[in-house]
A and B are shown apart, each in its own frame.
Chain A
Amino acid sequence: MYLYVIKRVLLVIPTLVGAAALVFLLMRLIPGDVCVIRLGSSGGTFDPKAVTLCHQELGMDRPIWVQFFDFMWGIVRFDFGTSMWSAKPVTTEIWARLPVSLEIALLGTVLATAIAIPLGTLSALRQNSWLDLFVRVFAIGGIATPSFWLGIISLLIVLDLTSFFLGSPWMPPIDYVPFWEDPIRNLSMVFLPAITIGYRYSAITMRMTRSTMLEVMREDYIRTARAKGLIHKLIINRHALKNAMLPVVTLIGIEFAFLIGGLVVTEQVFNLNGVGRLFVQAVQNQDYTLTQALVMMTVVVFVFCNLVVDLLYAWLDPRIRYS
């Protein structure tokens, strides 16, 4: 088992190096740079010497290979440098946003899992019943509805309903407060985005749970268990559900990793100061250092989630452990 984990961790190194080289080069292929955007995007006049000065200040006048070496050496030392846009350490920029994204991702995942797994299982066990039909319609609706649209609509509904019933419109706060500082304010801000992303997330998980459960329920070992006279509940919980969870866990892992940096539009709709919004901002501002660090962070999150999923596989399926 330890060897398995070590192998998985070592595989991370070439993945990180490849991702680092790719993002470094791709960012520099985009025309324009952070200095020109900073000085020219407001429409005022500026002196080209100011651009040259800015390039010097940010080290952009150095040969590209020196910049690349500097970046890679920084990664080795866990030093991602300073944001070219804000002049703040990249880690400070990311840490400021990570709690928001993490909270939304966790809440979304909990919500999605709590809905998807029981409903997906029930749907499979009562195939072609009214319940199954309802769950399928619910799931297809979730897959077909873009999260940002759902976000905008849910916000408008809340505004209109509160305006109608309370006399004045209400909307969630637009500045984030951590849970430990003000739980009510925090939850009132994050519940709508969590529902918005949780719906889509639960829809795809539900579909996956249903289809894998249907498949597992037709397996020989389920028939054997029934033939042995095991009670239905035990067959479902111990034999069917556990085996059906393998692809579901993979899906949950990938989705969770995506939620950390991929909630760009949802974060904008609810004015959440998260990593997704920072990502777009960094790319738009052509902030090389910040974009590079964010890409590396996303790669690490994906790799970590995959690792956790692989370890869960081993727990769920003893054959993986023994092999």
Chain B
Amino acid sequence: MRKALLAACFGLGLAAGALPQATEAQTPKRGGTLTYMIPADGGPSLDGHRETTYAVLHATAPFYSVLIRINPDNPSSTTDFTCDLCTEFPKPSDDGLTWTFKIRKGVKFHDGEPLTAQDVAASWKKIVSPPAGVASARYANFKMVESVAAPDDETVVFKLKFKTLSFLPALADPYAYIYSKKRLEQDMHWYEKNILGSGPFKLEAFTIGQSVKGVRNPDYYHAGQPYLDGFTAIFAPKQSVRVEAIRADRAALEFRSMPPAAVDQLTKELGDKITVQRSDWNCGNVLTPNHKVKPFDDVRVRKALFLAIDQWKGAQALSKIAIVRTVGSVVFPGSPLAANKEELEQLIGLWPDIDKSRAEARRLLKEAGQENLTFELLNRNVDQPYLIVGTWILDEWSKVGIKATQKVLPTGPWLDAMRSGNFTVALEANCQNIVNPIADVGRWLPYDVEQENFGGFLDPTLVEIYNKMLPETDVAKARVLMRQFEKRVNDEAHQLMVTYWYRQVPMRSYVKGWKISPSHYLNQDLANIWLDK
């Protein structure tokens, strides 16, 4: 049913280049404790609805259930969603505006209280329409939702304002933990400081800024899972510590990613004791010229910036030293709505003939009277991959006579400079969790629609295309509209996607069952992991 529905919605699509190494079919073994690291300095609050960092998700996802999720046995797919708390995927009724989910019976929170549809609805209401004084980080992704209700203890009904392909992927948000209605009614902020879910693991200990420990939930509702007796997640912000810890087997892995040099070092030192899973990543850098600042109000100058960069060769070369690899545009390359190579090569900034591209860049700069263009590229003081990509871009620009320097700022001032428009050209990041092309491209909309677009441009045509695409449920038609959207973004040189990132997760070979996905936010409940020791 699920597959049929999704095939109808999306067609079948697997992430190109996103296929993890084939994992041998083995019978999972029970027992053992998995120790992994979270490459962060502890997280902010424990409330997944409120936070955006993976540090929270990697520490808390094993404790929680969600309504639907990406298939944990096929997470590299961008379209294979599966039920977690629901019993089966519903057929939408009311001309696609009503989605009715049946909730599993017998599910319990870790304190023994039963989990019902009332809890699911209460949690989703908190996410979609948080009450005053309660923060919900992704509520803007649910613009299509009119209401969430639980008419009885086994049914949750989502009513939509309009049909859209972006609803189901949005619903599979990995942060959309199901909380206890009772706790939320007592205190909407309770989950910021406490953990109480119904997921595969129960909280054993939480040491602030240091580690999280979980033990197997014997009442878990997915038969036979989890396989582990428990897990220990250790916060380890420094990369050298993480590499050494894997080397000395103090920890088996970290789930985010490691740069090529670290992966090579571990592979060289540990041989067959290490396995590496790789995937294209639904994250990348975005080059944003500030359209409100001269001469970047001139489309010729902006185009020249994009035409000077050889992404096809650059991405391959950079992949040896940085966490980047794949060339793409506004849609994640593994999605059915993404452009293929031929389509990409038509876009400004992605022409295959770099000599022709740079000649055009020089011509445009001359025509705009900007042959000696000099400016400052605003960048973030994060080595992987911001500084590496930024340095490469400066070099590419120098090949058409543009003399740019980098202004590198810590995260707070970097974000502030972009939000206040205090920059000429910025290198920002675009990092999403679930691949949801129609929702994800919202970030490319002009600032009168998407206020956190820092480009400072207005473009009614782009908004018009998006508004047609948003309620389109025919994949083929949505794909055509997406091409128009993408072409418009590049023709107007509003912003440029600069190589997608590439996930490489080296892990001790005894860790089995986990499969990599295009996002470090996905497939983190650890239920299907087992240890071959």
Interface residues of A (CB under 8 A from B): 30-33, 36-48, 50, 53-54, 56-57, 85-88, 92-93, 96-97, 152, 155-156, 159, 168-171, 173-176, 268-271, 273, 277-278, 280-281, 284-286
Contacts and interface: CB of A to CB of B under 8 A. Distances in A.
B415 A37 contact: yes
A174 B234 CA distance: 8
Interface bracket on B: 35 or more
B443 A40 contact: no
A182 to B, nearest CB: 14
B223 interface: no
Given A41-B53, A86-B44, A87-B45, A46 B137 contact: yes
A41 B411 CA distance: 7
A97 B51 CA distance: 23
27 contacts: A30-B413, A32-B411, A32-B414, A36-B415, A37-B415, A38-B53, A39-B137, A40-B452, A42-B53, A42-B431, A45-B432, A46-B137, A46-B138, A46-B140, A48-B451, A48-B452, A50-B135, A87-B45, A170-B248, A171-B247, A174-B250, A174-B251, A271-B234, A271-B238, A271-B245, A278-B209, A281-B209
B211 A175 contact: yes
A176 B210 contact: yes
A106 B249 CA distance: 29
A104 to B, nearest CB: 14
A31 B452 contact: no
Contacts of A174: 37, 234, 236, 241, 245, 250-251
Contacts of A30: 412-413
Contacts of B411: 32, 37, 41, 284
Interface in B26-47: 37, 41-45, 47
A97 B209 contact: yes
B269 to A, nearest CB: 8
B450 interface: yes
A43 B136 CA distance: 16
Interface string B229-270: 000101111101100110111110000000000000000000
B234 A175 contact: yes
A175 B37 CA distance: 10
B133 to A, nearest CB: 6
Contacts of B89: none
A82 B450 CA distance: 32
B442 interface: yes
Given A45-B140, A47-B139, A36 B209 contact: no
A56 B133 CA distance: 7
A46 B135 contact: no
A58 B391 CA distance: 37
A41 B412 CA distance: 8
